[in-house]
A and B are shown apart, each in its own frame.
Chain A
């Protein structure tokens, strides 16, 4: 009989030993919850009593009875549709500005990155709320320039934009990703283009932009998935108000599942969100062949 230590040292066995934490975690914290969630979506589970199978009732209620459902869905959709493009433009623009290497670049990079490091925190959410308070500094600046103070926090038409602003302010991490990509563009490409008489604008559109489309694609998917799941800013700053105008889908889901303990209904909502996010990701993937350039394909 072979010794245990010898068996353990076989590559096949050792491989499984090393990745075992991941495999266990995958099943316990991802695969099982994933299918549990699918099951719960068709039940009336409420934590206290055993789940009862109720077929598509949760979905019927979602689509036809819960008026906050579509409301929160469209708010989240609008939030993503406005925030993601602006945020990406900001990140790319600032990345281009910071691509010019100077002695102070490290400091600038830190200044632009720090907000995204802390932006999701409770501290910043609370501060953001006071920045846009009626007597807050933003209104002080507006009135100093002769404008009229805005009721940012109690106007259903405006408050969502305050939250979108907070999201855009955190463009730092996608900016860093763009910056790394821009620096990866070989200097020889630029040099060749300069010899051919191309200015900075031409070089941006003809060289840099095509070269970084894979990163643009990555950031677009990442930011879209993130925006659809937004929770903190609404929960912490507005609590969904005023008049439910900032009630994100995730906040509505949380209220249903954890305030009213309608876990079955919440699971149905979560699955609908998964499908929507999946559809959007698929859409972006499908469109990618038209605009994402992969160097190795040599298109």
Chain B
């Protein structure tokens, strides 16, 4: 009898210890998560504070004097151009680049993963090498190239290269195609279907998840790209939001509220995409590790 009560007691205390450790775990991890996100929360809350409050009521995330004023002044932008123009430019560039990289990744990945042709391995190795090349070695000669072509000052340098297949995107889609059994291609082949038909009617519908991942990664990368705009855009009416935001902050100088407001707006598309496509994004990032 006493032995069983002792056992029950021991079981209960173990259970209690387990619950306690679970609670401690969640409290600690929640606190860490909050700390991680604090800079972003601070940016958003500062965008709703009047300029006189931002550095006075500085650590609090709740504005005392809630205002939308910053969004109104910020939206006006500069050089007679509102942020509406800059956001439109960013959307245009990001959408075109996304279409280009998704389509070219699908096409090239199919070629590499399914078709045997002489020299395939050499091209494949070349692709892996380009993944490791530091982009900055290409910065100057690419600028020279685009300058010679008369593309500097247009969206072309920011969008056209996407149509020629990014190495990582191709690799990601290839991994996916390799997981699809060949039975269907072979059956279709026997029925007289061309390689192009197989690609469009069999492969494309099956690799949609991988293509969504490529699209999401490209869109986010293109949307946030500052360097490209810095190098290639020179007319204010073509500025992307990333580049405009930097110039706006320099010009607005002490109008911190307006800068925070436009910063917040510029992150909304990325955040929205993250919430809708979290799964694709996480898988895409995790696959990066497999290429090594």
Which of A18, A29, A180 contacts B110 (CB under 8 A)? Answer: A18
Task: Flag if B263 contacts A123 (CB, 8 Å).
Answer: yes
Which of B137, B224, B289 contacts A215 (CB under 8 A)? Answer: B289
Task: Flag if B141 contacts A40 (CB, 8 Å).
Answer: yes
Q: Is B1 an interface residue (CB 8 A)?
A: no
Q: Is B135 an interface residue (CB 8 A)?
A: yes
Task: Flag if B111 contacts A111 (CB, 8 Å).
Answer: no
Which of A14, A130, A141 contacts B59 (CB under 8 A)? Answer: A141
Q: Is A207 an interface residue (CB 8 A)?
A: no
The 0/1 profile, CB within 8 Å of B marked 1, for residues 105-124 of chain A is 01111111111011011111
Tell me the minimal C-beta distance from B225 to chain A in angstroms: 9
Q: Is A273 an interface residue (CB 8 A)?
A: yes
Tell me the minimal C-beta distance from A40 to chain B in angstroms: 7
The 0/1 profile, CB within 8 Å of A marked 1, for residues 260-292 of chain B is 101110110011001000100110011011011
Whether A274 touches B285, Cβ cut-off 8 Å, given contacts A131-B42, A214-B292, is: no
A277→B40 CA distance, assembly (Å) = 33
Within 8 Å CB of B141, what residues of A?
32-34, 36-37, 40, 267
Instruction: Give the size category of A's interface with B.
Output: 35 or more
Within 8 Å CB of A257, what residues of B?
139-140, 143
Within 8 Å CB of B22, what residues of A?
102
Q: Is A231 an interface residue (CB 8 A)?
A: yes
The 0/1 profile, CB within 8 Å of A marked 1, for residues 236-249 of chain B is 00000011011001
Tell me the minimal C-beta distance from B26 to chain A in angstroms: 7
Task: Flag if B195 contacts A121 (CB, 8 Å).
Answer: no
Q: Is B58 an interface residue (CB 8 A)?
A: yes
Q: Is B165 an interface residue (CB 8 A)?
A: yes
Task: Flag if A180 contacts B108 (CB, 8 Å).
Answer: no
Q: Is A63 an interface residue (CB 8 A)?
A: no
Task: Flag if A229 contacts B226 (CB, 8 Å).
Answer: no
Tell me the minimal C-beta distance from B86 to chain A in angstroms: 11
A236→B264 CA distance, assembly (Å) = 17
Within 8 Å CB of A271, what residues of B?
137
Partner-binding segment picked from A20-28, A152-160, A189-197 = A20-28
A214→B291 CA distance, assembly (Å) = 11
Which of B58, B111, B116, B231 contacts A140 (CB under 8 A)? Answer: B58
Whether A121 touches B224, Cβ cut-off 8 Å, given contacts A28-B164, A104-B26, A215-B289, is: yes
Q: What is the number of contacts between chain A and chain B, taking CB atoms within 8 Å?
A: 273
Interface set, chain A 142-194, CB cutoff 8 A to B: 144, 169, 173, 176-177, 179-181
Task: Flag if B134 contacts A225 (CB, 8 Å).
Answer: yes
Interface set, chain A 59-109, CB cutoff 8 A to B: 94, 97-98, 100, 102, 104, 106-109
Task: Flag if A127 contacts B226 (CB, 8 Å).
Answer: no
Task: Flag if A14 contacts B25 (CB, 8 Å).
Answer: no
Task: Flag if B29 contacts A108 (CB, 8 Å).
Answer: yes
Tell me the minimal C-beta distance from B149 to chain A in angstroms: 10
Task: Flag if A14 contacts B286 (CB, 8 Å).
Answer: no
Whether A169 touches B36, Cβ cut-off 8 Å, given contacts A25-B165, A271-B137, is: yes
Q: Is A218 an interface residue (CB 8 A)?
A: yes
Task: Flag if A137 contacts B285 (CB, 8 Å).
Answer: no
A131→B196 CA distance, assembly (Å) = 54
Within 8 Å CB of A218, what residues of B?
288-289, 291-292
Within 8 Å CB of A115, what residues of B?
36-37, 39-40
Q: Is B127 an interface residue (CB 8 A)?
A: yes
Number of B residues near A (Cβ < 8 Å) is 88
Q: Is B150 an interface residue (CB 8 A)?
A: no
Within 8 Å CB of B175, what residues of A?
none
Within 8 Å CB of A17, what residues of B?
111
Task: Flag if B285 contacts A176 (CB, 8 Å).
Answer: yes
A104→B33 CA distance, assembly (Å) = 11
Task: Flag if B136 contacts A130 (CB, 8 Å).
Answer: no
The 0/1 profile, CB within 8 Å of A marked 1, for residues 92-121 of chain B is 000000000000100110111001111010
Tell me the minimal C-beta distance from B228 to chain A in angstroms: 12
Tell me the minimal C-beta distance from A255 to chain B in angstroms: 12
Q: Is A5 an interface residue (CB 8 A)?
A: yes
Which of B58, B126, B142 is the most central at the interface, judged by chain A CB atoms within 10 Å of its CB? B58
Which of B115, B138, B140 contacts A11 (CB under 8 A)? Answer: B115
Task: Flag if B245 contacts A122 (CB, 8 Å).
Answer: yes
| Nearest A residue (CB) for B220 | A117
Within 8 Å CB of B104, what residues of A?
21-22, 25
A267→B288 CA distance, assembly (Å) = 30
Q: Is A209 an interface residue (CB 8 A)?
A: no
Whether A181 touches B270, Cβ cut-off 8 Å, given contacts A109-B282, A135-B58, A136-B58, is: no
Task: Flag if B132 contacts A225 (CB, 8 Å).
Answer: yes
Q: Is A253 an interface residue (CB 8 A)?
A: yes
Task: Flag if A25 contacts B164 (CB, 8 Å).
Answer: yes
Q: Is B79 an interface residue (CB 8 A)?
A: no
| Nearest B residue (CB) for A29 | B161
A–B pairs, 22, beta carbons within 8 Å:
A14-B195, A14-B196, A25-B161, A26-B126, A29-B145, A29-B164, A33-B138, A36-B144, A108-B30, A115-B40, A117-B220, A121-B226, A123-B266, A124-B39, A126-B246, A176-B286, A177-B285, A177-B288, A218-B291, A228-B134, A229-B134, A232-B226
Q: Which 9 A-B pairs have the closest CB atoms?
A: A25-B164, A18-B111, A15-B117, A218-B292, A123-B263, A33-B141, A111-B33, A180-B286, A15-B115
**Additional A-B contact list (4), CB under 8 Å, known A19-B165, A111-B37:** A117-B274, A120-B224, A176-B282, A179-B286
